[in-house]
Structure 1
Amino acid sequence: MKIVNIEVGGVRRVGLLDGECVVDVLAVHEAQPLLPTALLPALGSTVTVIQHWDALRPLFEQAIERSRTNPAGRIRTADARMVAPMVPSTILCSGSNYLSHNQEKANADTSGKEPEFFVKTGDCVVGSGEPIVLDRVLTSKLDGEVELAVVIGKPGRHIPVDRALDHVFGYTIVNDVTARDRQVRRRPDGSYWYELGRGKFFDTAAPLGPCIATRDDIPDPQNIMVRSWVNGDLRQISSTSQMIWTVAQLVHFFSINVTLRPGMVIITGTPSGTAWSCDEELGGKWAGTDGMVRATGYLKDGDRIVCEVEGIGRLENPVVEHAA
């Protein structure tokens, strides 16, 4: 099942993808009562849906079936006002999780040895179709990274690897937008160090969507393709089988630091093909394969970046320069 958010009258509502249509669950219920009164508040956000999923799932399946015969609540996707399918409180981020990406960049001391741990929040989130803001006061080297994102469904701390996927609700896509000239700093001796705060955390730094695919839609998260394009040029292509740390290992890793809670998101790293790989000034080394087109520069005003994860869909965002 694929969960989306739509905007109706300025209010976010939970919807479900069904082919080329979105099913507005509340509208289906209003046309013909479906949900028990006690469960109606759970439709208030995707996070509360996740918290009540065991009870809601069969009712959501009924809503989809009902919408196929009674059009109330059924909207063509092209006509729906789609927004990010959730705004997580916390996005736990794993860097340097593909060997191919490590080969194309200046690495930190921990690269390839343990996940590079940084955090984004819901303040960075925008949905598919919304602009990524290029703020020249912040950066002149804005880059994008396609990443499989893991949506937590069940709370836990110190979660064993062999039970980690039991805590996963589903998966979405996050574009880990990065200000490279804030992230990567060069010492006088020619070596590099990272500043992941300003390089990773800023407005529109986490486009997320277009939907959340529930875990049963993606039975093996280590066997799906990820790709990105800029203005139609293939920039990144890889399989999640190339991750250094699996989804289960990352869930375990982050749960050592914090209690994972429903609605938290973990992003799992990006493969080679970033614009950084073509920036020798910041230690980049091009390592593209499989028809990838080498970047000629960083993201600029008017560009369009598309991130695709197999089984989930495409997250598409224009780049718009902010006038200070």
Structure 2
Amino acid sequence: MKHGRIIWEGAGHAVTQAADGRVQLADGRLLREDEVEWLPPFVPGTVFALGLNYADHARELAFKAPETPLVFLKGPNTIAGHRAETERPADATYMHYECELAVVIGKQGRNVSREDAWGLVRGYTVANDYAIRDYLENYYRPNLRVKNRDGCTPLGPWLVDRDDIPDPMRLQLRTRINGQLKQQGTTADMIFDIPALIAYLSSFMTLNPGDVILTGTPEGLADVQPGDVIETEIEGIGCLTNTIIPARTSCISNT
């Protein structure tokens, strides 16, 4: 089943995807996806992001494949939902998308073996983890300005149950800019697969329900500009849409 969260008529709703692709409320009412405000399909806990976890992407950047997972953390401010807007900094000369399979943890675990790793997985969603290449100081450890900007990581639209994806290590990933295909790859090209990542992370810290692992992106990155509509799609999971806008002016909350 595909699960989501939306705001409609001023209230939050847990929803599912109907057979015709529309959004179904708990009472059975059906809505179009463009008449609701989308939230991330689950409430994220700790967000782990992988760098250089696809062999073709490492080659694209002329880097040697890492021998251990390259992991960094993302703050809650980075997460946005389906159909959200993401700002491009005014001084950026190269900002690119990253279509990624997001693995959502459903059970607590520590020191989990590869063999038991699948038991921790609740399901999967699509992530688009933007990066501003101008600010990158080190590919192996991206600094905060690259990967922790507000709204730079949309998730969704749906959280798909683990058992509905028979083999998450053989899924096609695609990214389109304004309808034009720019990126195409497969999760089979991951350097560290899902069980390896769960075993690695749980070897030194407890994984909890709601934690999410962004598993990296294949080759095929391109610059995006304000006005561009970016679609990141993963086979069997869904298509996540996002629009690039210019950087907003400063804002100070009164709360």
TM over 0.5: yes
Q: Using the TM superposition, give the Cα deviation of residue 323 of structure 1 relative to its aligned residue in structure 2, in angstroms.
A: 4.2
- The equivalent of 1:228 in structure 2 is 175
The CA deviation string for residues 166-190 of structure 1, in whole angstroms up to 9 with x for no partner, is 00000001111111111245xxxxx
Q: Using the TM superposition, give the Cα deviation of residue 222 of structure 1 relative to its aligned residue in structure 2, in angstroms.
A: 0.6
- The equivalent of 2:2 in structure 1 is 2
> AA paired with 1:85?
P
Query: RMSD in angstroms over aligned alpha carbons?
Result: 1.8
Alignment of 1:103-252 (within 5 A): 103-107=59-63, 111-136=65-90, 139-184=92-137, 194-252=141-199
Residues 142 and 23 of structure 1: CA distance in aligned 2, closer, same or farther (over 3 Å):
same
Q: Using the TM superposition, give the Cα deviation of residue 80 of structure 1 relative to its aligned residue in structure 2, in angstroms.
A: 3.4
Asked if 1:254 corresponds to 2:201, the answer is yes
Q: Which runs of 5+ in 1 are unaligned?
A: 29-66, 68-72, 186-191, 276-297
Contact 1:4–1:85 (CA<8 Å) still a contact in 2? Answer: yes
Q: Using the TM superposition, give the Cα deviation of residue 77 of structure 1 relative to its aligned residue in structure 2, in angstroms.
A: 3.6
Residues 319 and 77 of structure 1: CA distance in aligned 2, closer, same or farther (over 3 Å):
closer
Q: Which runs of 5+ in 2 are unaligned?
A: 250-255
The CA deviation string for residues 44-78 of structure 1, in whole angstroms up to 9 with x for no partner, is xxxxxxxxxxxxxxxxxxxxxxx3xxxxx333444
Contact 1:21–1:74 (CA<8 Å) still a contact in 2? Answer: yes
The CA deviation string for residues 132-184 of structure 1, in whole angstroms up to 9 with x for no partner, is 111225x3321110000000000001110111010000000111111111124
Local SS of the residue matching 1:131: strand
Q: Which has the higher contact order (CA 8 A, sep 6+)?
A: 2
> AA paired with 1:100?
D
- The equivalent of 2:22 in structure 1 is 21
Contact 1:226–1:240 (CA<8 Å) still a contact in 2? Answer: yes
Structure 1: distance between partners of 2:142 and 2:124: 28
Contact 1:145–1:175 (CA<8 Å) still a contact in 2? Answer: yes
Structure 1: distance between partners of 2:184 and 2:248: 33
Alignment of 1:280-291 (within 5 A): none
Q: Which has the higher helix share?
A: 1
State, as a whole percentage, how many aligned pairs show the same letter.
Answer: 35
Q: Which has the higher strand share?
A: 2
Alignment of 1:56-75 (within 5 A): 67=28, 73-75=29-31
Local SS of the residue matching 2:219: coil
- The equivalent of 1:272 in structure 2 is 219
Residues 248 and 24 of structure 1: CA distance in aligned 2, closer, same or farther (over 3 Å):
same
Structure 2: distance between partners of 1:132 and 1:166: 34
The CA deviation string for residues 188-231 of structure 1, in whole angstroms up to 9 with x for no partner, is xxxx7754332111111111001000001102111111111112
The structure that has the greater radius of gyration is 1
Once superposed, which parts of structure 1, at least 4 consecutive aligned residues long, lie more than 4 Å away? none
> AA paired with 1:165?
W
